[in-house]
């Protein structure tokens, strides 16, 4: 992940109902719930702003009806937002012409949704190659690229099967390969694994992580599963009633929840696997510790799962060092207990 902003969403609104644009202007783009209800409007996305960085996986989470899927469709302009900006590589998609937007979608964006949308009368190879067919790429070229992606997603030997002859997980791989064939800059995935059985879902998550390690795409991934978000995401954005409740790493959401809703949302997260030592350590006096023996020295990047036994068995607080080996703090049993069981 780099510091380059790939997508910038600014004060985005999506209202369903008549007169949405004039309504927002009339209320200075800050209407109350009562004013929305009085006008017969439903706010699916409310004044949402965030950035997505190049190479990042940003996971958007929320309960059903929270606005997460609508938000993704607004980012791609599959739904026309009522107000705001969506900057893609600095270009405002909401101001782009229909022709320009279509070209960006075809060449710069990959999209995968919960329902795979495979063409039933086409083989795996032809389904994957279909986006290039729309771009009038010569048949030999598009089939050669499709063959490469068949191997990438682990479907060798299935090239000439039809969708009905594939399992759910295999169909999902076809959808993923099809979304990648245009060599997209940004990949949008809306609950792509939610219809799969748990074992297949885990397998697809592993494949996804493997793909990302090789391709380093910028990804916006929608899910309602916090475990999936933790496994896949660099940062997590939590939606509630169309608003962005909080955005941050899983560790930040756990340690500094913005409100009671976020706190409740992450209450069953595996804290020991997510919280790092640097988040719970206390200041240390250099004169109190000797760093000569490395067996009881803890790194500030260690997660609690990896240090718990040493901390519990020690008769005193243990020193914490940074990457350079310099003392930066200390961790005791009390610090560990508060972090794990608060």
Token representation of residue 283: 């200041």
CA angle (319, 321, 327) in 5-degree steps: 70
Q: State the CB neighbour count (10 A cutoff) for residue 280.
A: 21
Write down the residue that tokens 């004044």 correspond to. 47
| Residue 121: predicted pLDDT | 93
pLDDT at position 196: 72
pLDDT, position 131? 86
* Structural domains of the chain in order of their starting residue, each with its CATH number: 5-269 (3.40.50.300), 273-341 (3.10.580.10)
Q: Using 70 as the pLDDT threshold, list the residues of the chain that sit under it.
A: 292-295, 342
Do residues 94 and 77 touch, judged by C-beta distance below 8 A? Answer: yes
Query: Can you give the pLDDT at residue 106?
Result: 81
Of 220, 232, 183, nearest in space to 51 by CA = 220
Distance CA 327, CA 317 (A): 13
Residue entry with tokens 């397998």: 203
Q: List pLDDT tens digits, range 245-273.
A: 999 999 999 999 999 999 999 988 889 99
* Pair of tokens at residue 227: 């475990």
320 strand-pairing partners: 298, 329
> In terms of Cα–Cα distance, which of 187, 214, 192 is closest to 203?
192
pTM of the model as a whole: 0.85
CA distance 2 to 63: 30
The predicted structure's pLDDT at residue 28:
81
Question: What confidence score (pLDDT) does residue 153 get?
Answer: 80
Q: What is the largest CA-CA distance in the chain?
A: 74
């Amino acid at each position: 992940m780099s510091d380059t902003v790939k997508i910038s969403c600014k004060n985005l609104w999506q209202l369903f109902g008549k007169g949405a644009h004039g309504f927002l202007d009339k209320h200075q783009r800050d209407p109350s719930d009562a004013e929305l209800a009085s006008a017969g409007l439903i706010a699916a996305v409310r004044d949402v702003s965030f950035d997505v960085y190049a190479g990042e996986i940003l996971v958007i989470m929320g309960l059903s009806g929270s606005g997460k899927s609508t938000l993704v469709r607004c980012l791609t302009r599959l739904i026309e937002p009522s107000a705001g900006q969506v900057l893609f590589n600095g270009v405002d998609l909401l101001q782009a012409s229909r022709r320009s937007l279509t070209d960006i979608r075809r060449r710069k964006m990959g999209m995968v949704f919960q329902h795979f949308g495979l063409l039933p009368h086409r083989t795996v190879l032809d389904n994957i190659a279909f986006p290039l067919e729309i771009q009038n790429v010569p048949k030999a070229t598009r089939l050669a690229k499709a063959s490469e992606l068949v191997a990438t997603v682990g479907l060798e030997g299935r090239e000439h099967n039809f969708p009905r002859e594939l399992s759910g997980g295999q169909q999902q791989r076809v959808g993923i390969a099809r979304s990648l064939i245009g060599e997209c800059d940004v990949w949008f995935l809306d609950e792509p694994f939610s219809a799969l059985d748990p074992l297949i879902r885990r397998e697809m998550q592993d494949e996804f992580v493997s793909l990302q390690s090789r391709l380093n795409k910028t990804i916006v991934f929608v899910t309602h599963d916090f475990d999936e978000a933790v496994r896949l995401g660099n940062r997590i954005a939590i939606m509630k009633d169309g608003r962005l409740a909080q955005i941050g790493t899983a560790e930040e959401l756990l340690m500094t929840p913005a409100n009671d809703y976020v706190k409740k949302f992450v209450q069953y997260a595996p804290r020991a696997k997510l919280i790092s030592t640097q988040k719970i350590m206390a200041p240390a006096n250099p004169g109190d510790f000797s760093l000569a023996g490395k067996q009881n020295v803890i790194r500030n990047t260690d997660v609690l799962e990896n240090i718990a036994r040493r901390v519990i068995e020690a008769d005193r607080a243990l020193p914490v060092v940074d990457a350079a080996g310099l003392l930066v703090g200390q961790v005791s049993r009390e610090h560990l207990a508060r972090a794990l069981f608060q």
